[in-house]
Structure 1
Amino acid sequence: MEEKEKLLKKSKEIFSLVSCMYCYYSGPYKIETVCILLCNAWELMLKAYIIGKKGKEGIVYKNKQNKGRTIGLNECISKVFTNKHDILRKHLESVIRYRNSVVHYTVDSFDLSLYSKIEYCIVNFKAKMCELHNVNMSDMIVNQANEEILKNDVDLYKYSKKSLCREINNVLKSLGIEFKIDSQTFELFDRVYGIKENKEYCLISNVNNRPSYRYSSRVLNFIVGLIQKNPNNIKEVLKNKIKK
C-alpha cells in the first residue's frame, strides 16, 4: 500500500471514532478527545493530499534543524487552504489551539463558541474527503445523532435569536467581514431558507401558549457561509428571492 493510501485509511478510521464519540459519548473529556482525534484525522487527510500533489517531500521540513520531520497540521492547512480568511481554515485553527492547550496542560474554562467550530470541521471533513480524494464518507459518519444526548451534553439548541445574531457577528468579525446581522436580516434568512421549519436548525417549544425558538450551531455555520459568499449584497439577494 502506498504512503498516500495508508494515510487516508488511517484518517478515515480515526474520523469514524470522532463521529461516534461526538454524537453518542457523554462521559468526561469528550470535547478534549474529539479535538485531539479530529486534528489527527485532518492532518493525515491533508498530508495524503499534499503527497498526491508534490510527493512525500511536500510534507517534510527542508531546513537542517528539522531534517526528516514531517510538517504539522498548521502547515498542512496553510498549504492546502491558502486563503487565510477562509471560514474552514479559521475554525480549524481554533480547534488546533484548543487541542494544543489540552494536550500540554489542563483547561478549566471552555469557550462555548468552539462547539459550532468543532461541528463545522466535522461536517466539512466529509466534504473535503470527497473534494480532495473522491472518497465517500457517508457510510462512516453518523448522520443522525441521539438528540437527547446532544441536548444534555452539547446544548444543541443553545442560541436565542439575539445570541445567535451576536455570535454570527463575532464570527464574521474574526473573518474580517464588516457585515452585521440583526433581527430583521435574520428574518429574511428565515423566510428564504425556512430556518424555523428545519429541525436541524431550530427547536420550537411552547412557553405560556406562545412559540419559543432556540437555534443550533448548524444554522450559525449555514448563515455565516452564505454571508461570506456575498457580504456586500446579501440583503438584496434575500429580498429579491422573497419577491420571486
Structure 2
Amino acid sequence: MVVKDIVEKLIEKSKEAFIMAIEIYNKPTIHYRIEGFSFFICNAWELMLKAHMINKFGYPSIYYKDNPNRTITLEKCIEQIFTNNKAPLRLNLEKIIDLRNTSTHFITEEYEMVYIPLFQSCVFNFNEKMSEFHNVDMTELIPQNFLTLSVSMKSLDVNEIRAKYPIELADKLINTNSTITEMISENNQGFAIRVEHYHYLTKDKNKATSHVYIDKNAATPATIIKELKDPNDTHKYTAKNCIKEINKRLKKLGISLVFNMHHFKLFCNYYEIKTNPKLCYTYKVTSNPTYSYSMQTIELIVEEIKKDPINIIGNLKNRQKK
C-alpha cells in the first residue's frame, strides 16, 4: 500500500472514531458513555497524529525502532508532536488517557462531573488540530452545535460519595476531582472548558425554574447583585489572540485577507471598540491601561469583513481620514 493511501486511511478512521465518541456521549440511553467516549476520542487522536507523523517524519516514525512490527502508543505520539509537556492541550490528552486506562469498575457516573470540562476541550482541540494538520474541517461532518457535549451537571458532594462507594473507590474519585479542579484553575481552555450555571431573577413565576424569597428580617443582610461578570471569562482575548482567531475564521470562509495588527487598530478606532464594554475590557491598574476583548469583537470584525473583504480595509482608512 502506498504511504499516501495509508495516511488517507488513518485520517478516515480517525474521523469515524471521533464521530463515534461524540455520538456515544450524546446518547442519553447509553450508561457506558464516559468509558466509550474516552476510548474513541483517544483512538481518534492516535490515528490522526500518526497520519501527521507519517507526513512530517516519514512512515517508519510510527513504529518502535527496536520492534518495527509494533506501532507506537498514543502517549509516544503526543510526546513527539506536542513537545511542551506543560502545554494545556497535552495535559488535557494525558488526563483523558489516564481515564481510558482506569479499570472500568473504578469509573462511576460521578466521573462525568469531573471530566466533562476536559472532554469538551478535547473535542474542540481535535477539530482544531485536524484542520491544522490535515486541512479537514470536522464541522463539515458534524454540525458545529453537535460538537457541544450534552451533560446533566450537579456538584460533586464528598459526603455523598463516601457514603455511596467503598473507601478505595471514593478516595480515588475525590482525589481525581481535586487534582483536575486545581489544574483547571491553572490552565486555559486548551485544557478544560468550564461548565458554569447562572441564576437569574424574574418576577414572572411562569418563567421560573425554581423559587426563592428574601427575608427582610434575616440576621444577615444581603444584597442582590444585578450583574456580575469576570472579565477573564467574558473578555479573555488579547489583541494578538483576536487576530489569530479572525484569521482562522477568514481562512475557513475562503477569504484571502491576512488580518494584522494595523487592521485590528483600524476596526477598533472606527467602531469605537475600546469604549464599548461589551466588546472590550479596560484594565486600569497602571497609568498605561491594557485591553482585552470579547468573542463579540471577533464576530463583529469577521462579519464586517464578510460584507466586503476586498475593500473593507481601504474603506476604513478613507473614512478615518475624513
| Cα deviation 1:43-97 (Å, max 9, x = unaligned) | 000000000112210100002xx34100010000011111110101001000000
Percent identical pairs in the alignment equals 29
- 2:200 paired residue number: 205
Contact kept in structure 1, 2:62 and 2:71, CA below 8 Å: yes
- Which segments of 5 or more consecutive residues in structure 2 lack a partner in the other structure? 157-178, 189-194, 202-210, 214-223, 242-281, 294-322
Contact kept in structure 2, 1:20 and 1:142, CA below 8 Å: no
2:31 to 22, 25, 28: 28
| Cα deviation 1:178-237 (Å, max 9, x = unaligned) | xxxxxxxxxxxxxxxxxxxxxx96544335376899x9xxx69x96x98xx9xxxxx959
| TM-score, structure 1 normalization | 0.64
Tell me which structure has the larger Cα radius of gyration. 2
Deviation at 1:136, TM superposition (A): 1.3
**Aligned to 1:208, what secondary structure does the other structure show?**
coil
1:19 to 7, 19, 22: 22
Distance 1:62 1:32, change over 3 A: same
- 1:101 paired residue number: 102
Q: How many aligned positions are there?
A: 194
1:48 to 31, 34, 51: 51
**Aligned to 1:112, what secondary structure does the other structure show?**
helix
Aligned counterparts, 1:79-118, within 5 A: 79-102=80-103, 106-108=106-108, 110=111, 112-118=113-119
Contact kept in structure 1, 2:62 and 2:72, CA below 8 Å: yes
Deviation at 1:106, TM superposition (A): 4.2
Structure with bigger RCO (C-alpha 8 Å, 6+ apart)? 1
- Which segments of 5 or more consecutive residues in structure 1 lack a partner in the other structure? 160-165, 176-199, 230-234
Deviation at 1:111, TM superposition (A): 7.0
Once residues 112 and 135 of structure 2 are traced to their aligned partners in structure 1, the CA distance between those partners, rounded to angstroms, is 34
Distance 1:212 1:75, change over 3 A: farther
- 1:124 paired residue number: 125
Looking at secondary structure, tell me which structure has more helix per residue.
1
Please give the root-mean-square deviation of Cα atoms over the aligned residues, in Å.
4.1
Letter in 2 for 1:107: I
- 1:193 paired residue number: none
Once residues 67 and 133 of structure 1 are traced to their aligned partners in structure 2, the CA distance between those partners, rounded to angstroms, is 25
Contact kept in structure 1, 2:284 and 2:290, CA below 8 Å: yes
| TM-score, structure 2 normalization | 0.50
| Cα deviation 1:146-170 (Å, max 9, x = unaligned) | 99x9343xx2x869xxxxxx97754
